[in-house]
């Protein structure tokens, strides 16, 4: 990844798309990498948070949209809490995920379907109902037979339940989803 000093100009195009009003503070990034040092998913990802922010300023849209990083981020906000400039990397990740919806490749399309089905399941039941979620995912992704042999073992080991979970928190979780959706609509 280039040193900040080697960047002579910011590619405004991608920055404008992702952070038109500067609310995510992307342009303020100091490249101190405090976010990456604390990132919960730093061992799983292919691009660290400080690198992601730099790539936005460099206009590297294709590389970002094809990255694993935008799907491994778990929105834990550790990076934001460690950042001296309060750069909102998880919000950036959300926006990049949204951008993949407009021109998904086949792999990204499956990831999007999985992501959407998982969130729908969480909203409906208060936690993920794995069996139901996988059923909908497989139908929508037209991927009925892969990993089928694993189902009996997962059922036997209690990793998947036949019936949906009953949680008292389901209504509260659903309300959180609605609030987040409303906040995102205002951005
Ligand atoms: S901690 Fe903040 S300022 Fe430092 S590199 Fe990460 S996003 Fe940039
Ligand atoms: S919100 Fe995403 S990028 Fe930030 S620390 Fe958590 S996993 Fe890493």
> pLDDT tens across 103-139, in order?
556 667 787 788 889 999 999 999 899 999 999 999 9
Q: Give the integer Cα–Cα distance in Å for 101 and 91.
A: 16
1: pLDDT confidence band, cut at 50, 70 and 90? Answer: very low
* Mean pLDDT across the chain: 87
How much is the average pLDDT of 51-56?
95
Quote the pTM value.
0.63
Domains belonging to the chain, first-starting first, are 1-102 (1.10.1060.10), 104-176 (no CATH)
Q: Which ligand approaches the C-alpha of residue 90 most closely? A: 2
Q: Tokens representing 97?
A: 């995920």
- H or E element: which one contains 37? helix 34-38
| CA nearest to 2, candidates 63, 78, 45 | 63
> In this predicted model, what pLDDT tens digit does every residue of 90-112 receive, in sequence order?
999 999 988 887 655 666 778 77
State in Å: Cα 100 to ligand 2 middle.
19
State in Å: Cα 51 to ligand 1 middle.
9
Atom of ligand 2 nearest to the CA of 74: 7
């Amino acid at each position: 990844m280039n040193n900040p000093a080697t960047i002579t100009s910011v590619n405004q195009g991608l920055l404008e798309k992702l952070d038109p009003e500067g609310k995510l503070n992307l342009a303020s990034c100091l490249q101190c990498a405090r976010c990456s040092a604390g990132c919960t998913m730093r061992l799983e990802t292919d691009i660290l948070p400080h690198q992601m922010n730099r790539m936005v300023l460099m206009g590297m849209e294709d590389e970002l949209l094809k990255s694993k990083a935008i799907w491994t981020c778990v929105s834990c906000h550790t990076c934001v809490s460690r950042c001296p400039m309060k750069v909102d990397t998880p919000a950036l990740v959300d926006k990049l995920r949204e951008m993949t919806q407009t021109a998904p490749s086949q792999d990204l399309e499956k990831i999007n379907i999985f992501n959407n089905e998982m969130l729908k399941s969480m909203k409906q039941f208060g936690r993920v109902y794995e069996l139901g979620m996988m059923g909908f995912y497989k139908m929508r992704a037209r991927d009925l037979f892969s990993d089928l042999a694993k189902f009996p073992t997962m059922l036997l080991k209690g990793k998947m339940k036949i019936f949906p979970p009953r949680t008292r928190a389901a209504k509260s979780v659903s309300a959180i989803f609605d609030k987040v959706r409303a906040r995102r609509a205002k951005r």
